[in-house]
Amino acid sequence: MKYTKEERLDIGRRIYDGEITRYEAADIYDIGVQTARNYMRIYRDTNHLPPKSHRKDGPIKVSQKSPAGMEELESMTKEELIHELVKARITEARLKKGYEVKGDGSVIIYDSKNTR
């Protein structure tokens, strides 16, 4: 369906203001998701508004009830966080293969269903 410029701007405003998502707009107005996104961009550019940020560079908002250990993670440096992430991924991979390493790595505990 073809929409007038005013209708496109209204659809774009609703998306930009967060009333609806571009996916909802696509369903409601029977347009493509990219078309809805383009309407939002047209609205934004027409009104000289800043782009919506996805918080890529900004801080992540944490709710008041943080999970256990969240304060510890927030106090870590970037390098410490990367180190902990690598350790977690290694542990996950080991558990998928059916074993767990205890202590300094000298003790390996095999899962009973994966041993013969």
Question: Mind spelling out the 3-state secondary structure of 40-103?
Answer: HHHHHHHCCCCCCCCCCCCCCCCCCCCCCCHHHHHCCCHHHHHHHHHHHHHHHHHHHHCEEEEC
* pLDDT number for residue 38: 94
pTM over 0.85: no
Name which of 29-38, 44-53, 85-94, 98-107 the model is least confident about. Answer: 98-107
Amino acid at 53: S
pLDDT single digits (tens) 49-72: 888 765 444 444 444 455 556 777
